[in-house]
Structure 1
Amino acid sequence: MKTLICGGRIIDPAQNMDEIGDILIEDGKIAQIAPKIIEEADQTINAEGHVVMPGFIDLHVHLREPGFEYKETIRTGAMAAARGGVTTICPMPNTKPAIDSPERVKDLLERAKDAAVHILPIGAVTIGQEGNELADIAGMKEAGAVALSEDGKSVMDSLVFRHALKEAAKNKIPMFSHCEDKALVDGGVMNAGAKAEELGLPGITNAVEDVIVARDILMAKETGCRLHLCHCSTADSVLLIEMAKQQGLPVTGEVCPHHFTMSDDEITEDHGRFKMNPPLRSRADVEALKKGLAGGIMDVISTDHAPHGKEEKDQSMRKAPFGIVGLETSFALGYTELVKRGILSLSELVAKMSTNPAKVLGIAKGTLKPGTAADVVVADIDTEYAIDSSKFLSKGTNTPFDGKLVYGKVLNTFVDGKLVYSEERNG
């Protein structure tokens, strides 16, 4: 099977490439990149006026299967990813049962064998994510887990966490940390500040995140474990990660599109669509995150895609679950908020959504280099459009960005050379 993508602006940070040209895909691999390729192909994609990029890699998603299939399934989550140009996703283990053993990693991979995109499981740190007894870390890695996380909560027992970091370092598998001191949350549902007071809602302070970021960095330093800090939302998280990098520690940081796009000032009402964890922070925090992205302190953009049932989110923040969907809007928000505003170049955005996530995992993806898997996305960055949650392929529509005008519409997504999403066909 041969596919020819013609005349697009090819962006590949891994090859320092930003040029107009053609890409030939053959037998699921990138076969050739050149200014002009004269070759018979089974299908031809005219990418003139559009950008062609390595497929995005999302290190932080929730697929809800097994146990909560009414919120999302592997199939619907994978299709949502494909629509957003995301060709590889890493589902967090907080399903029911949790992905906390080699058998459950294998079961997830079996469930995902026909998914539209690559599924790379993340294993739980402790059995049942209860924070007490370590899961079989070596066994889960051998079964196919690419990282460890207790996402949805922190491992609050520091001694248990130290043992986990040592075991992770021994098995050369990264730790993805959700940084939240549970006791300090104290019933909070949104960022502590003037808007929370205006709405009469209990707040979540920055310290809830920052104290665990500091702890986990110090413990990673002690144990030598590779540490990836998930969904960072505060100015001090950026500062702490910068300090870790200055010491040469193997620490990376992730920012979600909602945290660099929106502040708590923009919350218009007490509604569950505005409730996420960490919460939308202050404008000062938003600006610090953008500076961290621009300065190379924050390495990765991931979504923390967290679908819920409509009735669950359509209520007060006091009662609604935390979570926002993001797979179908991440590139558009990144391009609109960061590239259009001059904070990142397009190549830098692609690096944070594709090249750098591949480096965090140590996998041979995130590039269009000939010989690699043909995970490719074609997008229109010039036409403005409105986000329409009614068209989401995810089961979840819980987003505060419905109706927002953005640039960066994904037109085609290829996984291993197979066209898994076409805006023309599916849009």
Structure 2
Amino acid sequence: MTLTLTNARLINPETGTDTIGSLTIKDGVITGINTAPVGDVVDCSGKCLAPGIVDIGVKVCEPGERHKESYRTAGLAAAAGGVTTVVTRPDTMPAIDSPEVLEFVARRAREASQVRMIPMAALTKGRDGREMVEIGFLQDAGAAAFTDCDRVVTDTKVFARCLTYARSLNALVIAHPQDPVMSKGAAVTSGKFASLRGLPAVSPMAERIGLERDLALVEMTNAAYHADNLSSATALPALERAKAAGLDVTAGASIHHLTLNELDVGNYRTFFKVKPPLRSEDDRKALVAAVASGLIDIISSMHTPQDEESKRLPYEEAASGAVALETLLPAAMRLYHAGDMDLPTLWRALSLNPAKRLGLDGGRLAEGAPADLVLFDPDAPFVMDRFKLQSKSKNTPFDEQRMQGKVLATWVGGKEVFRKG
């Protein structure tokens, strides 16, 4: 099958361009840009056509908590959000820490999802921080990276051993830098707002302490390392030094920390409880500037489904996390409409950089690249209704907010998996 998408605003993060043109697809790959139309022709009416989003750090709750999110519903949500590759987290019940569990979730993903699903595996058995998993066997089974997610490996010797072994196999280690002692029990960021609300808080310095430790071990082992969810300005100088020193280090930030701040918690609104907690407006602006400059490489949804029962609790007791597969693109449009960055720069962080970090072919508008694409209108206004989301869980902080940016169609390997009705 051959398909030509014409009159499209091509967003190319690799060349940094935003131009009107056409794109031809055959047998699931891009075969031509701005060539004569062949096959079926679709007029994109001047809307934006970009590489599909590659989202690192999505929680799909199989096995163990399928009532919160399944591979089927996560795939539907991803397709509706323009996410063509979902890189899933291992913080399931049980953790994805053996080849057998990894093969089970990979099979479930193939059977149930219409977008690409790539699993990550735990770094330590049970995510308990005591014993390293069989990294080599898990790599052979298809693990894209290794992470204990928000459970910090507190034993420095164990973490160093994991990094050393990962380095020998060219495996990527993803960490969530925090000082676990300082962060324990915290619900918000320390400061005047936290004091007024009487909530347990943690200083952003906990993130810097955790990152500094990790980077020292990366310097010692020369491992490939990615900090998945930086949230504070105080951590950025350490990241800058590590990159300047030539370490194989990248970093990401979640869309919530780039578009929301601590004041959005308001009167104990638990849908705004995420981990790490939302920071100050100064921190948010510093993160946005770091993404625009390329210091922070990747924007992710950090999609974390939670059921109503775990959110309808006092703020301190409520579960952390928010769904974001469908809201990632319209939330990111806030950065575009605010003038913080143009669309190619935004898609560099949403698609190109995560694909490059994981060694994937996607994230590009180029001949020979997979035809994983999203067509969207960056200006289309709407009011977010969480009950219309495809995810099983509806815990989004953007509920009832006015947003801009609608996904019109999504293709994976040249096959249309979503079209706006």
- Using the size of structure 1 for normalisation, the TM-score is 0.96
In structure 2, C-alpha distance between the alignment counterparts of 1:275 and 1:48, rounded to whole Å? 39
Q: Look up the equivalent residue of 1:416 and give its one-letter code.
A: G
Query: Does the alignment pair 1:412 with 2:409?
Result: yes
Secondary structure of 1:382 counterpart: strand
Higher mean alpha-carbon deviation, 63-72 vs 9-18, is at 9-18
In structure 2, C-alpha distance between the alignment counterparts of 1:381 and 1:37, rounded to whole Å? 27
> Once superposed, what is the RMSD of the aligned Cα atoms?
1.3
**How many pairs are equivalent?**
420
Aligned to 1:99: 96
Aligned to 2:235: 237
CA positional deviation for 1:159: 0.4
CA positional deviation for 1:417: 0.9
Structure 2 unaligned spans of 5+: none
1:323-334 mapped onto 2 (5 Å cutoff) = 323-334=321-332
1:116-135 mapped onto 2 (5 Å cutoff) = 116-135=114-133
Aligned to 1:183: 181
In structure 2, C-alpha distance between the alignment counterparts of 1:5 and 1:162, rounded to whole Å? 49
CA positional deviation for 1:366: 0.7
Aligned to 1:308: 306
In structure 1, C-alpha distance between the alignment counterparts of 2:393 and 2:235, rounded to whole Å? 29
1:216-255 mapped onto 2 (5 Å cutoff) = 216-255=214-253
Aligned to 2:72: 75
Contact 1:273-1:314 at 8 Å conserved across structures? no
CA positional deviation for 1:397: 1.2
Q: Percent identity?
A: 35
Contact 2:2-2:38 at 8 Å conserved across structures? no
After superposition, the Cα gap between the structure-2 partners of 1:175 and 1:284, relative to the gap in structure 1 and judged at 3 Å, is same
Secondary structure of 1:124 counterpart: coil
Q: Look up the equivalent residue of 2:6 and give its one-letter code.
A: C
Aligned to 1:392: 389
CA positional deviation for 1:295: 1.7
Contact 2:24-2:37 at 8 Å conserved across structures? no
Q: Look up the equivalent residue of 2:303 and give its one-letter code.
A: H
Aligned to 1:320: 318
Contact 1:153-1:179 at 8 Å conserved across structures? no
In structure 2, C-alpha distance between the alignment counterparts of 1:47 and 1:305, rounded to whole Å? 29
The CA deviation string for residues 155-204 of structure 1, in whole angstroms up to 9 with x for no partner, is 11110000000111111111110112221124211111222112211112
CA positional deviation for 1:16: 4.2
Aligned to 1:18: 18
In structure 2, C-alpha distance between the alignment counterparts of 1:260 and 1:371, rounded to whole Å? 33
CA positional deviation for 1:17: 3.9
Structure 1 unaligned spans of 5+: none
Query: Does the alignment pair 1:56 with 2:53?
Result: yes
Structure 1 stretches (4+) deviating beyond 3 angstroms? Answer: none
In structure 2, C-alpha distance between the alignment counterparts of 1:244 and 1:22, rounded to whole Å? 40
The CA deviation string for residues 8-61 of structure 1, in whole angstroms up to 9 with x for no partner, is 101112244422112121111112211x633232xx432122100000100111
In structure 2, C-alpha distance between the alignment counterparts of 1:246 and 1:366, rounded to whole Å? 25
Aligned to 1:40: 39
The CA deviation string for residues 330-365 of structure 1, in whole angstroms up to 9 with x for no partner, is 1111121x2111211110001100000011111111
Secondary structure of 1:112 counterpart: helix
- Using the size of structure 2 for normalisation, the TM-score is 0.97
The CA deviation string for residues 62-91 of structure 1, in whole angstroms up to 9 with x for no partner, is 001111101101111121111111100111
Contact 1:355-1:365 at 8 Å conserved across structures? yes
Q: Of 156, 177, 199, which residue of structure 2 is paired with 1:201?
A: 199
After superposition, the Cα gap between the structure-2 partners of 1:16 and 1:283, relative to the gap in structure 1 and judged at 3 Å, is closer
The CA deviation string for residues 297-339 of structure 1, in whole angstroms up to 9 with x for no partner, is 1110011100010121122211111111111111111121x21
